[in-house]
Amino acid sequence: MMDLASLFEGSTAVVKPPLDEVALRAIPAKRGIFLLIAADGRPILLTTAADIRSRLRFRLSAPEDEGKRHKTADLREITATICWRLMHSHFQTDWQFLELARQIWPDSYAKLLPRRTVWFVVPHLDDPAPHLAVSSDISSGPRRFGPFSSRRGAEEFIDALADVFDLCRCLSVLRRAPMGQACPYKQIGRCSAPCDGTGSMEEYRRLVAQAVEFAAGSRQGQKELLAANMRQAAQARQFERASVLKSRLERAGEFEAQRFGQIADMTDFRFIIVQSGPTFHQACTFFCAGGELVSGPIVDFPPTAAAAEGVLAAADRLTGQQADEELARRRMMLVASYMLNDPDRRGLILPRAALTADLLTQHIVAAAELLHLRAKRR
């Protein structure tokens, strides 16, 4: 049988249930994860707590009113050992809960995890009918954009791209090309209509590929083209066409707004995550590369140049290879879901590709209040 206590940093035996105040004082009143173990070594309950001692007082001590029944199961008489591991942030807590649950219940740990659904936009350029699709599978497709908190948000991203590039809005008709019946968008000049053979599918495939690069951040060229065509149409007194081009240019500008501001190319899923540390003068770092997720060094605030370089070097040692595909997917989904959290829970999640040591330091200093950091007094 697995030595469960070895997975944790502290433990105490329940000599005589229920727990009294003397026994409770041996348990830290801090954020963390705790496990209750029965006398035969069987794990009973694994859970998180903002205050471990307070949670255990509620679960294992005698209630003030003995006649009052808890809504939760009474575990006082069957708990023989309490184990705990301290955490310093919401992210670290959720990640370590995932890892501990997998080690303790390898065949059923997924049932203990909160349901996280994050959405992505996946290009299908090699499909006979090239298109953009919505998916909740973080591992699907050679390329993906996200994360989105809802399916509707991902669909709106695709709709905006369709407006900027005049892409086909009806995939079922596009799949029948060149024998499809063109929709009204062809009649108003907002689609090249490969569905009925008016335009070639290869030309349309190149147009979808341009939209994908635009979504990935290469936007200036398309915006300049739309602006130039709009001016040319206005000079030629083609005011209706100029109005359409103006509308497309305005839609292109939406990709710089807050609504789509957090959306990024998820193909190279490499991030440096910075969270609150064990003291107000320290920050914890974590590294994600594909399905690989590990703790990095704890850095003093403000970080020195050498400390920042050390963080980047440690992050670059990750290979991103992971044998357990299900675990890899769950780790990636955890990181993606945190990218959509409120700042107080999210901390800093920074794409590795865009970081230098100076930029990393600047991000941490700018987020000092968010991460509850302050420099030591000299």
Written as one string, the DSSP assignment of 134-161 is EES-TT-SS--EEEESSHHHHHHHHHHH
Residues 6 or more apart whose Cβ sits within 8 Å of residue 13: 80, 81
Distance CA 60, CA 52 (A): 12
312: which 2 tokens? 């980047």
Task: List pLDDT tens digits, range 188-219.
Answer: 778 888 988 888 999 999 999 999 999 998 99
Starting at the edge strand that comes first in sequence, how are the strands of the sheet with 81-86 ordered? 10-13, 81-86, 32-37, 43-49
Task: Report the mean per-residue pLDDT for the chain.
Answer: 91
Residues 6 or more apart whose Cβ sits within 8 Å of residue 9: 84, 85, 86
Q: Is the pLDDT of residue 65 over 60?
A: no
280: which 2 tokens? 């107000």
Share of the chain above pLDDT 90, in %: 72
Distance CA 82, CA 68 (A): 24
Residue with tokens 């497709």: 141
Q: Is the pLDDT of residue 153 over 60?
A: yes
199, 192 in Cβ contact below 8 A?
A: yes
Mean pLDDT, residues 134-158: 90
- Entry pTM: 0.87
47: which 2 tokens? 């859970």
Nearest Cα neighbor of 92 from 298, 267, 354 is 298
Q: What are phi and psi of 246, to 5 degrees?
A: -65, -40
The per-residue pLDDT for 191 is 85
69: which 2 tokens? 């029944």
Q: Is the pLDDT of residue 141 over 80?
A: no
Q: Which residue has the higher pLDDT, 42 or 138?
A: 42
Identify the band that residue 105 occupies on the pLDDT scale cut at 50, 70 and 90: very high
CA 220 to chain centre: 27
Mean pLDDT, residues 247-267: 88
Identify the band that residue 64 occupies on the pLDDT scale cut at 50, 70 and 90: low
Amino acid at 90: H
Task: List pLDDT tens digits, range 329-370.
Answer: 999 999 999 999 888 899 999 999 889 999 999 999 999 999
Identify the band that residue 163 occupies on the pLDDT scale cut at 50, 70 and 90: very high
The per-residue pLDDT for 374 is 95
Mean pLDDT, residues 50-69: 81
Q: Is the pLDDT of residue 19 over 90?
A: no
Identify the band that residue 184 occupies on the pLDDT scale cut at 50, 70 and 90: confident
Q: Up-side HSE of residue 322: CA atoms within 13 Å toward CB?
A: 19
The per-residue pLDDT for 220 is 94
Task: List pLDDT tens digits, range 290-341.
Answer: 899 999 999 999 999 999 999 999 999 998 887 788 999 999 999 999 999 8
Distance CA 41, CA 19 (A): 19
